[in-house]
Chains A and B, each alone.
Chain A
Amino acid sequence: MSEPVLALEGLTVTFGSARGTARVVDGVDWAVHPGQTLAVVGESGSGKSMTVLSATGLAPRGAKVTGTVRLLGEELTAMSDADRRRARGRHIGFVYQDPMTSLNPVMTVGRQVSEACEEHLGMSKQEGRKRAVELLGLVGIPSPEERVDNYPHQFSGGMRQRVVIAMALANEPEVLIADEATTALDVTTQAQILELVAGLQERLGTAVVWITHDLGVVAGIADRVVVMYGGRIIEQGKVDDLFADPAHPYTQALLAARPQPGVRADRLLTIAGTPPLPTELPPGCAFWPRCPVRGDARCEHEEPPLVEVAPGHEVRSFYRADPAVTEERSA
């Protein structure tokens, strides 16, 4: 297999506060390869955003980040702030959740798209503008020559997200990180954006990290899936393996909770309880308090290790759960 474009090893993010340390991300390892899509799934607060933000030097103030992050083989975590910033701008593109707020309201979309080319590729203003027109066309914005001078408020939500994608692609990045990129959009627009990204990925060979809590999306686009819970990876594997043969009770419950054609919404499973606060993580498995299975006595007091259950398929559990049991007990 080729070298990974972006690889995380033991990434840990903590916040010190009066009520103790919050471990928001704990020892996360994953990698994306050229042209591949890695999906990161998990409930709200499981640390998905924090993982990618901290990995790329965008952690909020007060975050303590440890671990190793490699971008195109270079150790991002060992670089100076300025070098990391340049590497990020040159090789990574970001697409964020809410296109209504992620664009600067007082700058033309053209300027927002071309800005990164001027900063990192040394383009002049005219070259940047030409590039912006080209990119806006590429992401499917009609009459880009005119739209390039418009402001964000002159676009609809879906069109804005296209602008954000154009912006993310400005420097032909090797990796695109999309954090809930379709969550704020309606279903039709969502499908269009997914199709757009898939098409661009095929043409440009970009690696994609797709963060979502929508497993329905994952099945269609991902090569590999990472499932996070309480800041840790609890299961990861190839998408087909993970969907066909989920090994962790949490993954099994998530899959059973996924809306599917032919299943009535009120028959869907929900996982009782709420995810743990990062300041109050249980001593053992983070999922233990909500776990319908609790298949091993050690789960409550001892953190389970990540073990390989099949080639490339890892689970953080002392045992291998039976999906039928999980479903039956959670219903």
Chain B
Amino acid sequence: MGRFLVRRLAQSAVVLLGVTLVVFLLLQLVPGDPVRVALGTRFEQDTYDALRERAGLDRPLPVQYLSYVGNALTGDLGVSFRSGDPVTGIVLERLPATLTLAFFAVLFALLVSFPLGILSAVKNGSVLDHVARVFSQFGVSVPDFWMGILAIILFTGVLGWLPPSGYTPLGEDPVDWFKHLVLPSVTVGLVTAAILTRFIRSSVLEAMSEDYVRTAEGKGLSPRRVVTRHVLRNALIPVVTVAAVQLASLLGGVIVIEVLFAWPGLGQLTFDAVRARDYPVLQGAVLLVAALFLLTNLLVDLLYAKLDPRISVR
């Protein structure tokens, strides 16, 4: 177990290093001078040179990269071109909003997909099953931003129940916080919910036709026990893997939806940083999202090994 963790953490570190390199190289390919963009149209040559030097842009590329990585290891991600503030502070400040959104999106997706997927398989062919199948078909085929726009039109424009966008900190006004949270998290979670529902349904159906389920029925266990003890435990093992992949694409969805709903998280930050050519901030945000992603994967792998005794974690 300990060795497994160490190995996986080392792997994650290598991947993160790769991410920094790729982002760094990509930014070199983008035409235009970020310092010029940051300074606007009218500026003194001295100011320009000073800023370039402070950002280290006057040094050779390999040196720039290595010093970036070296600093990153100490928690220093450089300073924003635009505001001059440390990037680490800027990205960490945005983290809670994104985590909140992602957490509630996942919560929504799980709360919908598990009961719906399981019941739809157990009651195969019932009305509920048909509803579940229409839901997952719909959720899979409609893009999330489009769903978000429709949701805003319906719940804000027509019904007037929820605010169209924005964010209220939890400490300030919990009710308002929640109202702002509903639309973006449901929008982000819906696609995941749809995909998971469909996958859980087929996985449960498949498990129900396994020989060991007939064995359990032969023992005269109640149908409920057969499902909870024998079908679900087996059916959910592959679901964990798919859920992990979905989680990754959900992080992607969060970025788009944050912009749509003016949600002050990492997505919004990334979007703004791209527009302002604020490369250090962009790099920092991407790095943090990548780290989140790797962390989730690690947790999922541990969970997987816990669920399936055939996999030994060493």
Known: A105-B234, A106-B308. A88 touches B216 (CB 8 A): no
> Is B211 an interface residue, CB under 8 A from the partner?
yes
Q: Which residue of B lies closest to A115 (CB)?
A: B219
User: Chain A residues with Cβ under 8 A from B221's Cβ?
Assistant: 85, 89, 115-116, 119
> Is B217 an interface residue, CB under 8 A from the partner?
yes
> Is A102 an interface residue, CB under 8 A from the partner?
yes
> Is A167 an interface residue, CB under 8 A from the partner?
yes
Question: Cβ of B218 and Cβ of A104 under 8 Å apart?
Answer: no
CB contacts under 8 Å to B, within A191-248, are none
Known: A58-B214, A96-B214, A119-B225. A104 touches B219 (CB 8 A): no
Question: Cβ of B230 and Cβ of A107 under 8 Å apart?
Answer: yes
**CA separation between A86 and B211, bound complex, in Å?**
20
Shortest A181–chain B CB gap in Å is 13
Question: Cβ of A85 and Cβ of B212 under 8 Å apart?
Answer: no
Q: Which residue of B lies closest to A151 (CB)?
A: B309
**CA separation between A90 and B210, bound complex, in Å?**
23
Question: Cβ of A116 and Cβ of B309 under 8 Å apart?
Answer: no
Question: Cβ of A116 and Cβ of B234 under 8 Å apart?
Answer: no
**CA separation between A264 and B205, bound complex, in Å?**
47
Number of interface residues of B (CB under 8 A): 22
Question: Cβ of A58 and Cβ of B237 under 8 Å apart?
Answer: no
Counting chain A CB atoms within 10 Å of each CB, which of B211, B218, B229, B308 scores highest? Answer: B218
Shortest A58–chain B CB gap in Å is 6
User: Chain A residues with Cβ under 8 A from B309's Cβ?
Assistant: 105-106, 151, 153
Shortest B212–chain A CB gap in Å is 4
Interface string of A260-273 (1 = CB under 8 A from B): 00000000000000
> Is B222 an interface residue, CB under 8 A from the partner?
yes
Interface string of A72-95 (1 = CB under 8 A from B): 000000000010011111101010
Question: Cβ of B212 and Cβ of A102 under 8 Å apart?
Answer: yes
> Is B3 an interface residue, CB under 8 A from the partner?
no
Shortest B154–chain A CB gap in Å is 40
> Is B42 an interface residue, CB under 8 A from the partner?
no
Interface string of A165-181 (1 = CB under 8 A from B): 00100100000000000
User: Chain B residues with Cβ under 8 A from A58's Cβ?
Assistant: 214, 217-218
Question: Cβ of A88 and Cβ of B218 under 8 Å apart?
Answer: yes
> Is B25 an interface residue, CB under 8 A from the partner?
no
> Is B220 an interface residue, CB under 8 A from the partner?
yes
Question: Cβ of A107 and Cβ of B229 under 8 Å apart?
Answer: yes
Known: A101-B210, A102-B211, A106-B307. A167 touches B219 (CB 8 A): yes
Question: Cβ of B310 and Cβ of A153 under 8 Å apart?
Answer: yes
Question: Cβ of B230 and Cβ of A104 under 8 Å apart?
Answer: yes
User: Chain A residues with Cβ under 8 A from B234's Cβ?
Assistant: 104-106
User: Chain A residues with Cβ under 8 A from B130's Cβ?
Assistant: none
Question: Cβ of B219 and Cβ of A116 under 8 Å apart?
Answer: yes
**CA separation between A153 and B212, bound complex, in Å?**
14
Question: Cβ of B212 and Cβ of A105 under 8 Å apart?
Answer: yes
Interface string of B129-141 (1 = CB under 8 A from A): 0000000000000
The residue that A104 contacts in the complex, of B212, B217, B222, with Cβ under 8 A, is B212
Shortest B223–chain A CB gap in Å is 8
> Is A64 an interface residue, CB under 8 A from the partner?
no
Interface string of B297-309 (1 = CB under 8 A from A): 0000000000111
> Is A120 an interface residue, CB under 8 A from the partner?
yes
**CA separation between A115 and B212, bound complex, in Å?**
13
Shortest A177–chain B CB gap in Å is 9
Question: Cβ of A96 and Cβ of B211 under 8 Å apart?
Answer: yes
User: Chain B residues with Cβ under 8 A from A102's Cβ?
Assistant: 211-212, 214-215
> Is B123 an interface residue, CB under 8 A from the partner?
no
Shortest A25–chain B CB gap in Å is 17
CB contacts under 8 Å to A, within B171-225, are 210-212, 214-222, 225
> Is A98 an interface residue, CB under 8 A from the partner?
yes
Question: Cβ of B220 and Cβ of A105 under 8 Å apart?
Answer: no
CB contacts under 8 Å to A, within B258-314, are 307-310
Question: Cβ of A94 and Cβ of B215 under 8 Å apart?
Answer: yes
User: Chain B residues with Cβ under 8 A from A103's Cβ?
Assistant: 212, 215
Counting chain B CB atoms within 10 Å of each CB, which of A86, A87, A115, A151 scores highest? Answer: A115
**CA separation between A87 and B220, bound complex, in Å?**
8
User: Chain A residues with Cβ under 8 A from B225's Cβ?
Assistant: 119
**CA separation between A94 and B219, bound complex, in Å?**
8
What are 25 sample pairs from A and B whose C-beta atoms fall under 8 A apart? A58-B218, A85-B217, A85-B221, A86-B220, A87-B220, A88-B220, A96-B211, A96-B214, A101-B210, A102-B211, A103-B212, A104-B229, A104-B234, A105-B212, A105-B308, A105-B310, A106-B233, A106-B237, A106-B310, A107-B233, A115-B221, A115-B229, A116-B220, A120-B220, A167-B219
> Given contacts A85-B217, A85-B222, could you give 9 more A-B pairs where the C-beta distance is less than 8 Å?
A87-B220, A96-B214, A98-B211, A105-B234, A106-B308, A107-B229, A115-B229, A116-B221, A153-B309
Chain A residues packing against B (C-beta within 8 Å): 56, 58, 82, 85-90, 92, 94, 96, 98, 101-107, 115-116, 119-120, 151, 153, 164, 167, 170
3 A-B pairs closest in CB distance: A89-B220, A101-B211, A94-B218
